[in-house]
Amino acid sequence: MPPTRLQLAKREVTVFFDAAEKHIFSGKDLSAILSHHRRDWRLAQSTTSNEFIKFLLQKAKLKEAKLESKTYILPTRDVWGEVCSAPL
């Protein structure tokens, strides 16, 4: 089976996230990144945000992280690579 466009773009996508100033993202952040860079990365218009995020979680350095706080319920975020965590 030939590689998907996401697989072909993995190197470029990885370079982008490795160089990014921030490494903690919401789903909305990742959707905006996909929309902004879709053409640069030559991704199909049919590639959804969920497919993009799932690919990054399974094939790249994106990890799902549950942020913890003693006083607030915080949403899950996605983390690129290793991020030092400290209690809020």
Give the predicted TM-score (pTM) of the model: 0.82
| 49 against 78, higher pLDDT | 49
Per-state percent for the chain, helix, strand, coil, to nearest 5: 40, 15, 45
Q: Where are the domains of the chain?
A: 5-80
Q: Residue 79: helix, strand or coil by DSSP?
A: strand
Lookup: tokens for 2: 């030939």
Q: Which is it for strands 62-66 and 24-25: parallel, antiparallel or unpaired?
A: unpaired
Calculate the alpha carbon distances from 19 to 13, 35, 75, 86 in Å: 10, 18, 25, 23
pLDDT at 28 over 50: yes
Q: Please give the mean pLDDT across all residues of the chain.
A: 89
DSSP state of 3: P
